[in-house]
Structure 1
Amino acid sequence: MYSTFPFSPGMRRLFSVAALVVLALTWFADFGVLFLRPGAPASGMAVTSWIPAFITGPLAALTLPDNRWLPALTRRAVLVAAVSVALSCVCLFIPQDGAGWGFLETVALLLLIIRVLAQVQPAQAAAWVIAPLVAAVLMLPLRDRSQDTLVVGAYVLTLLLAVCVTLGSALRAQEARRQRAVHDVRQAERLALARDLHDLVAHHMTGIIVQANAARTVHATAPDKVEPILESITRAGTETLASMRRLVRVLREYDHDALLPGDLLAELGELTAEFARHNPDSPPVRLEVTAAARSTRFSPEAEASVHRVVREALTNVHRHAPGQHATVRLDATPDWLLVTVTNTLPSHPAGPAGGRGGLGLIGLQERIEALDGTFRAGPSGRGQWRVTARLPRHPVPPVG
């Protein structure tokens, strides 16, 4: 029911349980009013008095949770509103003797209003769905055909509608802010990847120019050495083109340090050492590099991305799991480069696992997927938090 609301999983479960309890108690109240009302035996009630407790109330409540077998939320909400309005219209012409205004139906309609405002996109579609729901709620007092009930009920329901509309709008605004933050993080990560690729391409192009000048210099005196130089230029050019195909934008900031390829293992060692310097009371990070990873060269953008994954993961360990054991593992298969960062979970987390708001992990996922890789972050089921990135092994020719 609250799967898309901007709350933690624990809060969503708490809200779901609370909603179920409220709906169940409200349904029992409907039956209490229906059967236990003094001076109005159930056998003498009009048919429309039974419908809210047995049909419209449960129908409205069943449309609240999401289910793959149910139609879309907008269709369910319009259907429930139409049924409720139809019953209210019928009650205007049939004398009522007993319960005609269902509490479960009222609560479910109000919750539907909150859900539609918070989740339905775009805003125009939400407005079209909200209109019949509001009409259905405001027409509920008409079922008793009493002036006092109409006045008091309309006043109370108007206040409840104002609260629900405000809450739904607040949730919608909060989700919009979260989506904007996610979009900004993803855009920033794409631009960071573009800057890295720009630096790497510039590095290779510099090498190509140097080798071309060397070939021109030795051409007259040692023509036999020109061929190996040309082969090296071809290999470097092929690698540069492979990186440029993955470059979607180019942006260069003045404060951005250039990256050099081929230093991945040294950079990972520096990251683990830096973690130890900033966390003297924590166990040292264990760095595991398999033989396959040591003997393989990877594309420069893959190395830069692995460095980014490890740095972000260790930063999260420092922030949210201080004092816990952490392990960085680098492995390679014939097709993939695999990096995994695991840490034990503290008994009392210092903050949300994986980063405050999870935006750092969203940025990593955007970077890895931009390179045709896969990214996962979450509990491993053994008391650990695991961050895993898998990047394709694009062929990289050896340096000549």
Structure 2
Amino acid sequence: MTGLPRIPDLWRRPDAALWYAPLALLLLTASFLPGFRSNGTELGGLPDRPFDALAIAAIALQCLPLAVRRRWPVSCFTVVSLGFAIDQLRGYHTLAGTALPIALISVASLVEHHRRAVAIAFSVAYVPLSVALHRLGPGEPPSEFVTFYLAVALAWGVGVWLRNTRAVEAERRRRVAEDTRTAERARIARELHDVVTHHVTAMVVQAEAARYLTASPDRLD
């Protein structure tokens, strides 16, 4: 059946990396547009700060690693998280913060080992960030930080769902391939059985007929 590819298929296609280089550049460019400045993720309620050299670095740290998120998902997520922390602590609140859930989805869906360790490390690192933002800001209620953490956890859940869907699809394809091989072997066996049966039958008929031709050697041959 043909049709539009599903989201998991798009996410795991070999050429999916080609989508993320333009996405990284698009997010990088949009973060500097006047209409998008200071309109990104705001955690802790810190007042907006004008862009400076460190803001440029924070935006680059959040956006550019997305281009390699498929090959090095953990490294991508680590650098993006660092840029996000600088972004929030300095009060830039750039659109580049959108890269954080994307990088987190990549870790949850692509990393084969130590995914739990990455999740624990991020959760532990989030605590001092929340404390620092709470002290630097106007004293936002803890529920804001809990809500943001749950939103990030949702992104992790999306990544896990993508990973599980990919595993189920791979198992389905394996079973289909195995069933196809089994059916092909059975077909070949049936054809060989028919050929052997035909030849054996012909041999038996010829052997029985030879009993009546012993008196005519020329016909016997």
Q: TM-score, normalised by structure 1?
A: 0.38
Q: 3-state DSSP class of the match of 1:155?
A: helix
What letter corresponds to residue 92 of structure 2 in structure 1?
G
Q: Which of structures 1 and 2 has the larger relative contact order (alpha carbons within 8 angstroms, sep 6+)? A: 2
- Residue 113 of structure 2 is aligned with which of 124, 128, 131? 128
User: Relative to structure 1, is the Cα distance of residues 187 and 42 closer, same or farther in structure 2, using a 3 angstrom cutoff?
Assistant: same
Specify the SS of the correspondent of 1:174: helix
Amino acid at match of 2:176: A
Where does the alignment leave 5 or more consecutive residues of structure 2 unmatched? 39-46, 135-141
CA offsets 1:164-218 (integer angstroms, 9 cap, x no match): 3234313422332233233223312321221222122211221122223333442
Cα gap change, 1:137/1:40 in structure 2, threshold over 3 Å: closer, same or farther? Answer: same
Q: Contact conserved, 1:29 with 1:103, CA < 8 A, in 2?
A: no
Alignment-mate amino acid for residue 215 of structure 1: A
> 8 Å contact 1:114–1:168 — kept in the other structure?
yes
1:41 equivalent in alignment to 2:28: no
Q: Does the 8 Å contact 1:53/1:102 carry over to 2?
A: yes
Does 1:175 find its partner at 2:170? yes
CA distance in 1, matches of 2:148, 2:106: 19
For residues 83 and 61 of structure 2, what CA distance do their matches in structure 1 show?
Answer: 13
Question: Match of 1:98, SS?
Answer: coil
**Could you tell me how far apart the structure 1 residues matched to 2:10 and 2:85 are?**
35
**Structural mapping, 1:194-343, within 5 Å:** 194-218=189-213, 220-227=214-221
Partner SS state of residue 42, structure 1: coil
Q: Distance in 1 between matches of 2:127 and 2:33?
A: 19
* Cα pair 2:31 2:96 within 8 Å, conserved: yes
Q: Compute the TM-score of the two structures, normalised by the length of structure 2.
A: 0.62
* AA in 2 matched with 1:108: I
More helix by proportion, 1 or 2? 2
- Residue 157 of structure 1 deviates from its aligned partner by 0.8
Change (3 A) 1:90 1:26: closer
Q: Which has the higher strand share?
A: 1
Q: Which residue does the alignment assign to 2:100?
A: 106
Residue 163 of structure 1 deviates from its aligned partner by 3.3
Report the equivalent of 1:96.
90
Q: Provide the C-alpha distance between the structure 2 equivalents of 1:131 and 1:106, rounded to a whole number of angstroms.
A: 18
* Contact 1:101/1:143, CA 8 A, preserved across alignment: no
Q: Which residue of 1 aligns with 2:133?
A: 146
How far apart in 1 are the matches of 2:218 and 2:167? 71
Query: Aligned ranges for residues 67-86 of structure 1 at < 5 Å?
Result: 73=70, 75-84=71-80
Find the aligned partners of 1:106 and 1:157 in 2 and give their Cα distance.
8
**CA shift for structure 1 position 134:** 3.6
Please give the alpha-carbon distance, in whole angstroms, between the structure 2 residues aligned to 1:34 and 1:129.
40
Whether the aligned pair in 2 keeps the contact of 1:57 and 1:108 (CA below 8 Å) is no
User: 2:31·2:59 contact (CA, 8 Å) conserved in 1?
Assistant: yes
Gaps of 5+ in 1: 1-6, 65-72, 117-125, 228-400
* Per-residue CA distance 1:117-161 (angstroms, 9 max, x = gap): xxxxxxxxx541534654576556865732456433212211232
Seen in structure 2, the aligned counterparts of structure 1 residues 54 and 136 have a Cα distance that, compared at 3 Å, is farther
Question: 1:289: which partner in 2?
Answer: none
String of CA shifts for 1:102-126, please: whole Å, max 9, x gaps.
434214314414642xxxxxxxxx5
1:155 maps to what in 2? 150
Aligned length: 193
Q: How far apart, in 1, do the equivalents of 2:156 and 2:31 lie?
A: 21
Residue 141 of structure 1 contacts residue 154 of structure 1 at CA under 8 Å; is this kept in 2?
no
